[in-house]
Each structure stands twice: as structure tokens, then as C-alpha cells.
Chain A
């Protein structure tokens, strides 16, 4: 009989077992970073952590949270990797960088992974892949580009270790790949961003006469699958090209610097973390106060099994609610619910508005082609949205005003000034950074 979970022994551990495991690993982590990471040694010393004694989760809370800005400053002072990694370059298997979109300073963190990290991250992803129906000999189309991004390497490890087949198509030549490759090697699963999923479904529909046996798609890299309306649209587009029922969408939550952090289960409420590898907390975004389960706050993570760049109490910049209530899937690991980017929240007339919620409203417009949510400064007087379709200006404005009860300005822009992204959606538009983004993200591909 086929197993439900890739690793039920771990995925369905009791809370007591998980806590004991975490504490054991936390002790190992502390000793490891004390020995190898000058940056984290200083933090542990400031918190008076004594690694010669048994370690408890409470000890972790005595360590000051780590922000991305701290890591950036550390790398700028100690280029190129900083003083927080635990290994030297000769131990690294791969090097990557975080994306520019999520850094206030515009600086991208350089990340590193050892061979052991690749194994560990691959093993975590295997849980997600298994849950998503990936099985030996299944064809998994990896339709993302690797651009400095270690997650893709971890994903390919996971696919190999399940003995599925990697069909690497990147996110280019969509038409050619849809025309021929998909017909020749019918895909069972795709790994791609939600934005590309939206686009690719349309291309496949045009090129393929018959539905394909695609059972599921795995999305990562941006919010999308967690925004209900957008998810519904993507689901519909893929169901139209898939012969498999049910067709499922699985969200994978990962960060370039933190690795894989959570993945969806079939039950669909929240994403399961990997508590044997990561400790999850939420903090008040404006202070270091630890929030309770159920309260929405900034996700803070601590790696328990990372070799190259373990992070301790790392403020991810993402807002979540943690939920430890039992899941029908049988997994006992914490769930991360309602993930949204802190940087994408906008303060309008004293009210915090989440970009996900704005997107949710906009996606209700059938004719939506492209949009940007404007963020200027720390606070704005009105919610400002840029759209490229005159036909939806009025309804979009009305619906946004109804939903948020704040002044709303909807501006029409020429479609060429807001070209649709087909690979990733950088939905929030920072006018002061526009030039930087325009230059850096000027698409130069000749192969689409």
C-alpha cells in the first residue's frame, strides 16, 4: 500500500518528540556556530548562552533576532560572504544570491550551500513532492530559471531522489516546449512561479490539442498560490489543459537565504513547516515581542540542520500566523497561514493594507492585464494602483474603496510602461527605485 507521507516518522511526530528533537539539534547548532561563525558567536555571547549545558527552546529566545540588514552589513564589511557563514568557500557546493525585489537597500545577500545542505533541502522538498503526487518515473518539468537561485538545485535533488525524471525546460521557449516537448514527454508535474504558471497555461492551451496528464503544479518564488482569486484563476487555466482529476496546486514557501521553509498539504489550509529542521516563531513586526500562536506577526526562523549558513532567529520580512492545531493530513508540524510580505504592506491613512489583499480584489476583474501597487514612503494618503486597462478603472476603484475604506487613486498607464511580467510578478512599485528596477530588470531574452 502506498504511503501517505514521504517520511511519516518525522512528519507525524508528536509534539513532545518534536520539541525534544529540536532541543537536541538546537544544542548542536549552538556549538556549531560558536565554533565556526564569528557573527553568531557574538550574538550567543551577548545572550550569555552556555553551550556546555543542555539547551532549551527558551534559550533561543534570549538571542537577539537577526535582521537582513545586519547580514547585509556584515557582508559589506566582510565581502563577499560575511562573517556569519560556518564554512569556507572550499566547502561550498553552490553559491547564490537573493532577489533584489526584497531588499530595501537594493543589496542582494550572497548565499552558500554545502553538499550536505543540498541533501537536507532535497529531503525536505521530497515531502512536498510526495504530497503533490510525484512518484518514481513521473516527469517533472522544471520550468524556472536558475538565476543565482539555490532552490532549483535543491528541487532537482529532490526529484532525483524520488526517482522521478527531471525535464528541464527553464522558463523560456515556452511555445517550443509546449509544442513539442510536452507532447513528446507528457508532463505529470510542473515546478514554476505562479506568474509563469498563469502564462504557460495559456501557451499550452494554444499549442496542444489534447489535455496533458499533469497532476499537479508546485509554485514558489512569489505570492500567488496563496491569493484565493489568483489561485482560482490559475487552477481553472490548468484544469483546462490537464486530463488529471483532481488537479492540484501546491505552494512551496522558500527563501534564497533560508532554504525551503514550508509546503502545502492536500488539505489546503496553511503550509506545513519542517519543525525537525526549523524552529518557527512570530514576532511583533515593530518590536522583539514574541507573539502567541494565532497572532499575526513577522516570521522568525532558526535553522537546525544547515551547514553553510545557518540562520538564528532570522526575521524573514514575511507576515504569517502560526497554527499548531491538528491537520487532517496527519502531519503534526506547525502550519504557516496567510503568508504575505511585510515589505509589500502599505500604510494608507493609518491603516495597514496587505498587497495580497489588494491583489485579491484586482484579480476579480476579468480584464485585468497588469497592475502595480504603488508604495511611496512610510505612509500614504491614498491607496494608489496603476492599471493598463481603461475598462476596469472604475470598478477596481470602487471595489478597493469598499474593501479598505480608504481613499483610492487608480491611474491608467500605457501598457508598454507596465509590461506584463511572465516569469515573476513584482507587484509593488516603488517610484524612487523605478530607475534601478527598470535598468536591472530590462528583459533581454532572445529566446522566448
Chain B
């Protein structure tokens, strides 16, 4: 029988009408807060002809203009060029109140540097902030669990980022002991997991798969030779976006896997509960809207659209109507676990991840789902889009097959057929033996679009750098 646990029961199971009223109450405070303190948002208010007092309800919020990543980036660059802190315009507190600065991963361009106060970290998904603890507690973390955190991409916020490492300075102190890990030196990591008896692993799905494979190569059985009982994954598309992935992870490790979706700039997250039916949004701390990617208008509940998030708790640099750029769908039905927050049930990926090949539009996640569902594949693939000598789009998918597969001809035909059925476009398929596509611990590259200017050179440089080690 499933056990339902709540870190903050009152907030997590608040009746929906009360929750929405609570959001509106906090929204009004936040509007005044950024009006008074944020040069960036004061300007937005004025330019859009809105006063903070005009935003009283969730519906009113729709009038306020979106905040985009490119705006934040432009703002950052402009501040730096003026020899000011990159977050100077968005900062709502005196600079001496900034306690930690962390960056986004920068996978879509220049990283955004985000300032956090000590109070921010209390609430956020960083370092066992409240929203992080809710997740772990809801899926069963216990005082005697040994929690290994393995992220850190140059200090980026990915997966909660260095927040886990800065627990030294962060209230509240974590309720469970943490082993601060790091990607890389994976054999050492596996040794650590066995020696100490790690029961809980927090990493990206890519790394979790990679560790499983490596353990097997080392002659270990991930299912028997480790004490892992649960995994929480995040930092890149996981089981919420690609349900087929969960079974594979759980089979590898013989441990329950729970996904968490997070967003670095707003520090919001949505986490699965034991029901594993989507990620519960933290609606007492953020407002989530789903808007039409073209018209930017709010969509009715249950429709797929672009996620927009507004911070209700942020102190250092709260963001208002931040366009997350992910295409999502929410389910607003109360979950069997008793939580009343909306659940993200579908994540299609970033709007700018959409590919258009020979007039067919599709998202990489659609390919990923297809590949993950083919039992003969390891789940790894790369899509390579290019132009031929006649200037026509070419579309190739390289797929890794499991080492026990022998009938490659049949498999190839299957992959072509499944992808065509999925997205309406036939690819050229190349099969690659298991391991042949390399491994990445984090943010696996799956799309190579060489039609974009500079893309081929950037890729070749990356390969050169990775070999230089």
C-alpha cells in the first residue's frame, strides 16, 4: 500500500479554490515588491502602461508582458557593459544581501547569472530548500538514507546545482546526510556508492544510465551489488517527458525512479509523487500559466502550450511571467496522493527545439520517445540534420542497438517505420553498436543541425576539446 507523505501538508493539500486565492494574495504583494525594487520590472510596468495595483487577480496577470530568456540575457550583457553587476537591474535587494551567485547551464547561449539571498535558498530547490525537500520527502526519503548528489556542470544550477554543496552556508540545514558528488571519475563514484552504501542517487537520467552500464562493465550487478533503493532524476528530459525511460532506469537499478522538472531562473520545480503521474507544481510558491506559443494568450486547462512562471516567494531577483519556453501540459485533477497542485504530465521540450525538416515539424522528444519504446535499442540516438549537395534537407537518425541484437536489417526497418509513424517523416537510419554513440553525464546532445551557421564548426571544436583530455 502506498504511503502518502507531506512535508507541508497544509500547503500541499490546500483545496484548489483556497490555493488560487492564496496565489492572488501573494501575487499582489509581489507586484508591489517588484514595482518598488526592480528597475527591470518597473520599466516593464511603465512601458506596458500598467500599474502594480492593476494586477490583482490571476486573470489580470495575463496583461503583464512576458519576460524572456533573451531579455534577461540582453539585460545582463547591457549591465556588464556598463560595469554593473549582470543582475543589477533585476535585483530587488541591496547588493550586500546577495549570498550566492549561480549560473544557468548556458546550453541555449550565454549563461544567466542569478543572485540568491540566504532567504531565497530557504525556499528554493537549491540546497534542500523547501521545494526540494517536499519532493524527496514525498517519495519516501528517510533519516537513515544516504543521499548522493551528482551534478555540477561548471557550477551551473542544473539539478539544484551547487546549492547542494553550499549547504554549508544555507539554512535550513539538510534533514538527511548528503554526500556531495560530482560527475566524472565514475568508477570512483561507483566505489563510493558501494563502500558507503548509498541508498539514494540524484543525477541526470543520462548519468544514471551511464553508471549502470559502467557498473556492468566493471563486473558488478547494479541490481544486487548496490544498496540503492531510490533515484531522483532531473536536469534534462526524464520520465515525465518520456515515460518509457522510467522502466529502463528502474530495470537497470532495481530501484524506484522519480522525476523532477526544474527551471533554473525561477527556481521552480515540479516533482513526481509516489503515484508517478506527472510532476506536482509548487503552486504556493509560483504561478504557472500555459499560453499559446503563437498568440501568447492563456490556454484552457489541459491544453499543450508554453509554460510561463511567476515567482511568488523570490526575494533577490523574482521573475514575473518568465517564458520558460518549454511546451507542457498540466493535469488539474486532484492526485490520488492528496495533493491539489497541478501536475505537469507532458513536456515536449523547448519551443525553439522544434525542428523543421522538409516542411515537417517535430520535436526531438518525439524521436526520443519512439527510440525509447523500441526494446532492441539502448535508448541512445543522435539526429543529424544537414543539407545535401542540392541544398535539400537530409534527415538521419543514428540509433544504438543492444549488444544481444543480431538481426540488424529487421531492426533498421522497424526504426524507420516507427519514426515515420511518429512524426510523418522517413529518416535514413544508421545502427550503431551499444556504446558507439559515446556517453555524456549531463545534457546529452541528441540533435546535430548542421544547417545552422557555425554548427558544424562548434561540434568539431567540442569533439577536439573532449579528446584533448
Contacts and interface: CB of A to CB of B under 8 A. Distances in A.
Contacts of B183: 445, 447
Nearest to B190: A440
A49 to B, nearest CB: 30
A93 B100 CA distance: 20
Contacts of A181: 103, 111, 113
Contacts of B249: none
B76 interface: yes
Interface in B196-241: 196-197
Interface in B172-201: 173-174, 177-188, 191-192, 195-197
Contact of B99 (A100, A110, A145, A160): A160
B98 interface: yes
B168 A160 contact: yes
B154 A441 contact: no
A157 interface: yes
Contacts of B197: 79-80
Interface residues of A, number: 64
Given A156-B165, A172-B153, A176-B111, A112 B177 contact: yes
Given A153-B167, A184-B86, A444-B185, A97 B178 contact: no
Interface stretch (A20-28, A163-171, A386-394): A163-171
Which of A112, A154, A157 has the most chain B CB atoms closer than 10 A to its own CB?
A: A157
Contact of A170 (B95, B152, B195): B152
A165 B181 contact: no
Contact of B162 (A139, A168, A444): A168
A110 B144 CA distance: 16
Nearest to A112: B177
B419 interface: no
Contacts of A169: 154-155
Contact of A149 (B162, B166, B169, B180): B180
B155 A168 contact: yes
A184 B76 contact: yes
Contact of A159 (B85, B103, B155, B169): B169
B177 A89 contact: yes
Contacts of A16: none
A176 B100 contact: no
B316 to A, nearest CB: 11
A161 B103 CA distance: 22
Given A166-B99, A168-B100, A446 B179 contact: no
A443 B469 contact: yes
A147 interface: yes
Interface residues of B, number: 58
A263 to B, nearest CB: 17
B195 A180 contact: no
Nearest to B214: A444
Contacts of A110: 195-196
Nearest to A154: B168
Contact of B169 (A94, A156, A177, A442): A156
A137 B99 CA distance: 8
Given A139-B101, A156-B166, A163-B96, A170 B155 contact: yes
Nearest to A161: B169
A155 interface: yes
A146 interface: yes
A136 B96 contact: yes
B113 A184 contact: yes
Given A80-B196, A172-B153, A95 B168 contact: no
Contacts of A150: 180
B110 interface: yes
A139 B165 CA distance: 17
Contacts of A154: 168
Nearest to B197: A80
A431 interface: no
B101 A439 contact: no
A118 interface: yes
A439 B187 contact: yes
A97 B100 contact: no
A122 interface: yes
B118 interface: yes
Which of A108, A153, A159 has the most chain B CB atoms closer than 10 A to its own CB?
A: A153
A167 B101 contact: yes
A173 B154 contact: yes
A135 to B, nearest CB: 11
Contact of B179 (A94, A173, A441): A94
Contacts of B454: none
A240 B179 CA distance: 37
A122 B168 contact: yes
Interface string A407-448: 000000000000100000000000000000001111111111
B320 to A, nearest CB: 23
A396 to B, nearest CB: 26
Contact of A90 (B76, B144, B152, B191): B144
Contacts of B465: 448
Given A93-B177, A153-B165, A180-B110, A444 B182 contact: no
Given A147-B180, A446-B440, A440 B95 contact: no
Contacts of A176: 106, 111, 154
Which of B101, B439, B466 has the most chain A CB atoms closer than 10 A to its own CB?
A: B101
Interface in B64-114: 76, 80, 85-86, 95-96, 98-103, 106, 110-111, 113
B196 A95 contact: yes
Contacts of B182: 145-147, 170
A97 B196 contact: yes
A137 B97 CA distance: 8
B297 to A, nearest CB: 35
B180 A153 contact: yes
A129 to B, nearest CB: 12
Nearest to B94: A137
Nearest to A125: B168
B166 A444 contact: no
B444 to A, nearest CB: 9
Interface string A165-200: 111111011001100110111000000000000000
Nearest to B171: A160
B385 interface: no
A115 interface: yes
A148 interface: yes
B129 interface: no
Interface string B132-164: 000000000001101000001111000001100
A260 B257 CA distance: 37
A180 B178 contact: no
B166 A160 contact: yes
7 contacts: A80-B196, A89-B177, A94-B180, A96-B179, A97-B192, A145-B182, A443-B184
Interface of B: 76, 80, 85-86, 95-96, 98-103, 106, 110-111, 113, 118, 143-144, 146, 152-155, 161-162, 165-170, 173-174, 177-188, 191-192, 195-197, 439-442, 465-466, 469
**Closest 6 A-B residue pairs measured CB to CB?**
A160-B169, A173-B154, A157-B168, A168-B162, A146-B180, A92-B177
Given A96-B180, A168-B155, A176-B111, 12 more contacts: A94-B167, A122-B169, A147-B188, A148-B192, A149-B180, A160-B118, A167-B102, A168-B100, A168-B101, A185-B101, A444-B184, A444-B439
